Amino acid sequence: MPVRTALSVLAVIFLTAAAPVTQQTPSPPGAEEYIIWPPDGAVIHGGKLWVRMGLRGMGICPKGVNVPNTGHHHLLIDTDLPPLDQQIPSDRNHLHYGAGETDARVELAPGTHTLQLLLGDENHVPHVPAVYSKKITIYVR
């Protein structure tokens, strides 16, 4: 294989690997995600609590349904925001509410925990610009 062809192939491989895997959905200006309850600094007695999720400027729609200006909630527990150009992970730190839930019962071990919401589109990918809440801290006794 000539050197020029080999370099072209390597360039295509590099550019393909560096590109985001999925197409991102636009969000409208001013859209806001927020945690209704618990409030920042709350002390929770016992590990079970309801998290109430809020959204302004957009609507809630289940995963797999493509409607403009909608998405579904993802609750991030004890973690930072994931890469905002990739599908949101699904594990014990990234809980998906793909049925369109706006509240969720979670159980946390005693200690200090952080909670944050991140809105995902029909494919669990953050919008552009990303719509997420401020990170709050709660204490479980």
Give the rounded distance of the alpha carbon of 2 from its chain centre. Answer: 45
Q: What is the DSSP string of 95-108?
A: EE-TT--SEEEEE-
pTM of the model: 0.84
ω into 2 cis (within 30 of 0): no
The amino acid at 127? H
Whether 77 contacts 113, CB under 8 Å? yes
Give the rounded distance of the alpha carbon of 71 from its chain centre. Answer: 10
Does residue 4 lie within any of the structural domains? no
Number of domains in the chain: 1
Does residue 19 lie within any of the structural domains? no
Quick one: pLDDT at residue 23?
Answer: 84
CATH number at residue 43: 2.60.40.10
Whether 124 contacts 96, CB under 8 Å? yes
Quick one: pLDDT at residue 28?
Answer: 97
Rounded to whole angstroms, how far apart are CA atoms 49 and 109? 11
pLDDT in tens, the chain (141 residues): 454 444 444 444 444 444 445 689 999 999 999 999 999 999 999 989 999 999 999 999 999 999 999 999 999 999 999 999 999 999 999 999 999 999 999 999 999 999 999 999 999 999 999 999 999 999 999
Alpha-carbon distance values, 56 to 33, 44, 97 (Å)? 6, 26, 17
Q: Which domain holds residue 43?
A: 24-140
Q: What is the DSSP string of 6-64?
A: HHHHHHHHHHHHHS-SSPPPB--TT-EEEEEESPTT-EESSSEEEEEEEEESSEE--TT
Does residue 16 lie within any of the structural domains? no
